Amino acid sequence: METVLMRGKPVADVYREAITKKITAAKEHGLTVTLAIVVVGDDPASHVYKDRLVKLIESLGGAAKVIMLPADSDEEKVIGVIKKLNRNRYVTGILPMMPMPKHINGDAVGAAVSANKDVDCLNPINAGDVFMGRSPWAACTPRACMATLAHYGIELEGKNVVVIGRSNVVGKPVSVLLLNKNATVTVCHSRTRNLPELLKTADVIVAAVGKPCFVQPDMVKEGVVIVDVGINAVDGKLVGDVDPAVAEKASAFTPVPGGIGVVSNMMVMECLTRNL
């Protein structure tokens, strides 16, 4: 059995071409597509993500507006900044970096983002529309999972899919998107019993548990498709939630790094340009 390595770059490149055309067309009409990024505090991961998004939007012909706020900013101040950006007609989309410092309610900040400027489905109106099947604009990482599976021709209808993780940003929304493709979805989490047995029934596994190399070869069946959303730092290297040895049993899998994360960034840009 030949294993398909589902790299993210070819997927992202397809979207890059379409998004660049939209941004260029907008610029010809006097509109610079602008992503406002709000960073509160000094979370290293947020700053890395922010820098990557700035580089990406600029490479596509758009612009970034970065608002840096000190870690001790109160919730009212952060929401005030968001509301000001909502009213700014030169700002196309808004992305507050999560997680927020512990004293700030991240859900409240996300809810403050105008629904039509929300690029990562943080506004509960947008999240509700996704859940009800009325909108395709789920958070960027779940959409990256679906875009990658579609690009590599992975059929989902009637397949048994196990999602490991029930977060509001990955596990829950990706399960809804999978259901919309007529997959049979099981969502597992820290309280799930007999997880290895459930994983062995899966035709497709989406791992978003946040534990390095959590899924081991003896937990999966031959020919399984692996979508590894995890990004964990171990001994100075990035590893996923799935042990690399699982690839020997898989018919297709996403590498870490170089897999879903690459596509996820581009999904932010796709959502940013959705109304153009």
In order of their start, the domains of the chain are 30-116 (3.40.50.10860), 138-260 (3.40.50.720)
pLDDT in tens, 210-260: 999 999 999 999 999 999 999 888 888 889 999 999 999 999 999 999 999
- pLDDT number for residue 44: 86
Mean pLDDT over the full length of the chain: 96
SS3 118: strand
Q: Average of pLDDT values for 30-55?
A: 94
% of residues, the chain, pLDDT over 90: 93
Q: Average of pLDDT values for 194-214?
A: 96
Q: How far apart are CA 245 and CA 66, in angstroms?
A: 40
- pLDDT number for residue 198: 97
Q: How far apart are CA 211 and CA 267, in angstroms?
A: 24
Q: Average of pLDDT values for 145-162?
A: 98
Question: Residue 1 — pLDDT band, cuts 50, 70, 90?
Answer: low
Reported for 24-31, long-range contacts at CB under 8 A and 24+ positions apart, including other chains, are: 24/61, 25/276, 26/273, 26/276, 27/61
- pLDDT number for residue 249: 96
> Does residue 53 register a pLDDT over 90?
yes
Query: Tokens representing 270?
Result: 């796709």
Choose between 187 and 235: higher pLDDT. Answer: 187
Q: How far apart are CA 175 and CA 184, in angstroms?
A: 9
Cα 229 from chain centroid (whole Å): 8
